[in-house]
Amino acid sequence: MLLFTISFFSLEPARHILSSIVYDILVSTIFEIIMILFLVKFVPFTL
């Protein structure tokens, strides 16, 4: 049981780093999609 707890707590920071990387990728992808849609929607009208 103690070994399981030690391995769980040693895995916890790696999982946290991985989830933050995935979160950053998701946010940047969503932001890029919004920017592309914005450009496609508004640039032809300005031209």
Give the global pTM: 0.51
State how far the Cα of 24 lies from the Cα of 30, in Å rounded to an integer.
10
Domain count, the chain: 1
State how far the Cα of 15 lies from the Cα of 13, in Å rounded to an integer.
5
pLDDT at 39: 87
User: Does 38 reside within a domain?
Assistant: yes
Tens digit of each residue's pLDDT (9 = 90 or more) over 1-47: 566 666 666 666 777 778 888 899 999 999 999 999 988 888 776 66
pLDDT at 35: 92
Longest dimension (CA), the chain: 67
Domain that holds residue 28: 19-47
Radius of gyration of the chain from Cα atoms?
A: 20
User: Does 12 reside within a domain?
Assistant: no
User: Does 9 reside within a domain?
Assistant: no
